[in-house]
């Protein structure tokens, strides 16, 4: 028996809600997380057609990349397209879950599919988010250091770039006196105890602090654990906006733009030209990524591929970089396949369906 909360838990382990932007609404928007899941529908957006598809499949959970509901609401009265969709979902007992900017802000998220389809190599996060790494220091009896260490690794600590099980420890002497009401692992009440301890140090993603502390306390033998957590200025190599990488070989601007049109089935591509004749180093960002123009220029990208670029933003590169708008829907359409594949990997015997029709509201008159 699978509950809605089980689906949410695995998605939020992949992309923790703490990574979402402040304006966002990535969460369970409608529904009871303790309800049993019958079937899941995954879509980029929520539309009346998506709800009808869910009803047809007897699905009671819709996962969308884009939230239907931003900001605060004073009421839920019929008459607007958002309210009507929410009311329909509630009446049909269909839960709505949005998996948005937290999914944007991980290396394996939305932009990964764009970079992969373009064949980018040697990729890395374009603009890492600051203050996303913390360090845990914990004192533990030497006899139990490995047990605590392994529990922390299992909870997600100790990963630095392409390395895991990373830690540092050194031995020392600790003192404490168990007081009345204590139940000490070592020593006697009202007697000062001198113990050989290791100070264990591990780095972990700030978004996983709750899970890290829980794992540490469950594995630690002491009744009261002496530990300290600090936030570092170091960047997390897997958390942030956009991806930058290299094409297998330089290509002309015309070939580059043509390949984008074909890969993303774009009816039209808007771009600001560049003095460069060939493109090799490419920055990409799914959705609205014009805020990455300056960073892309700083890293000497030949092109930035994103969406939702406004008129004046097209002037910003000053022809030093090709600036390409492939469309919001076009840039994020493959997110649904990523979410579907992840759910099927975690729950291989459970049915989840992709809404395969376009939810793109934009049309082009030619």
| DSSP string for residues in 248-315 | EEEEEHHHHHHHHHHHTT-S--EEE--S-SEEEEEEEEEEE-GGGHHHHHHTT-SEEEEE---GGGGG
Q: What is the pLDDT of residue 171?
A: 94
* Closest-CA residue to 124 (of 302, 284, 335, 289): 284
Least confident range of 14-28, 63-77, 226-240: 63-77
Q: Which of 326, 306, 300 is nearest to 246 (CA)?
A: 300
| Rounded Cα–Cα distance for residues 322 and 305 (Å) | 8
* pLDDT, the chain, mean: 94
Q: Between residues 302 and 175, which one has the greater pLDDT?
A: 302
Predicted confidence (pLDDT) at residue 303 exceeds the cutoff of 90: yes
Contact 220/144 with Cβ under 8 angstroms?
yes
Query: What does the alpha-carbon distance between residue 327 and residue 333 come to, in Å, rounded to a whole number?
Result: 10
SS3 73: coil
The C-alpha atoms of residue 26 and residue 19 are separated, in whole angstroms, by 10
What pLDDT, on the 0 to 100 scale, is given for residue 182?
Answer: 84
Determine which of 187-196, 218-227, 280-289 has the lowest per-residue pLDDT on average: 187-196
**Predicted TM-score (pTM) of this structure:** 0.86
- What percent helix, strand, coil does the chain show, rounded to 5? 30, 30, 40
Mean pLDDT of all residues in 24-48: 96
> For residue range 124-165, what is the model confidence (pLDDT) as tens digits?
999 999 889 999 999 999 999 999 999 999 999 999 878 999
**pLDDT score for 262:** 96
Backbone angles phi, psi at 154, to 5 degrees: -65, -30
Residue 26 near residue 98 (C-beta atoms within 8 A) = yes
- Please compute the mean of the pLDDT values over residues 259-267 and round it to a whole number: 95
């Amino acid at each position: 028996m699978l509950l809605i909360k089980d689906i949410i838990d695995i998605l939020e382990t992949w992309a923790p809600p703490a990574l979402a932007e402040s304006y966002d609404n990535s969460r369970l928007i409608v529904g009871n997380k303790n309800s049993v899941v019958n079937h899941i529908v995954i879509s980029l957006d929520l539309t009346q057609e998506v709800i009808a598809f869910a009803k047809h499949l007897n699905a009671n959970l819709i996962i969308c990349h884009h939230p239907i509901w931003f900001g605060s609401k004073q009421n839920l009265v019929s008459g607007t397209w958002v309210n009507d969709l929410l009311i329909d979902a509630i009446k049909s007992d269909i839960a709505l879950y949005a998996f948005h900017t937290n999914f944007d802000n991980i290396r394996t998220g939305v932009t990964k599919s764009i970079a992969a389809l373009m064949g980018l190599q040697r990729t890395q996060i374009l603009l890492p988010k600051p203050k996303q790494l913390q360090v845990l220091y914990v004192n533990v009896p030497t006899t139990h250091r490995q047990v605590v260490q392994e529990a922390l690794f299992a909870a997600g600590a100790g990963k630095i770039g392409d390395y895991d099980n990373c830690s540092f420890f050194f031995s020392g002497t600790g003192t404490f006196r168990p007081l009345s009401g204590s139940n000490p692992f070592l020593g006697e009440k009202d007697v000062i105890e001198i113990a050989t301890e290791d100070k264990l140090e591990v780095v972990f993603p700030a978004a996983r602090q709750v899970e890290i502390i829980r794992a540490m306390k469950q594995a630690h033998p002491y009744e009261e654990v002496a530990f300290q957590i600090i936030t570092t200025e170091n960047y997390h190599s897997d958390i942030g906006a956009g991806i930058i990488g290299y094409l297998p070989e330089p290509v002309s601007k015309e070939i580059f733009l043509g390949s984008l049109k074909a890969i993303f089935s774009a009816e039209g591509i808007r771009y600001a030209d560049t003095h460069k004749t060939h493109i090799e180093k490419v920055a990409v960002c799914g959705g609205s990524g014009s805020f990455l123009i300056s960073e892309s220029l700083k890293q000497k990208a030949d092109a930035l591929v994103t969406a939702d670029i406004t008129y004046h933003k097209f002037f910003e590169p000053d022809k030093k970089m090709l600036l390409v708008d492939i469309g919001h829907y076009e840039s994020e359409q493959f997110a649904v396949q990523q979410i579907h594949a992840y759910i099927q990997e975690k729950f291989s015997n459970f049915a989840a369906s992709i809404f395969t029709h376009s939810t793109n509201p934009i049309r082009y008159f030619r």
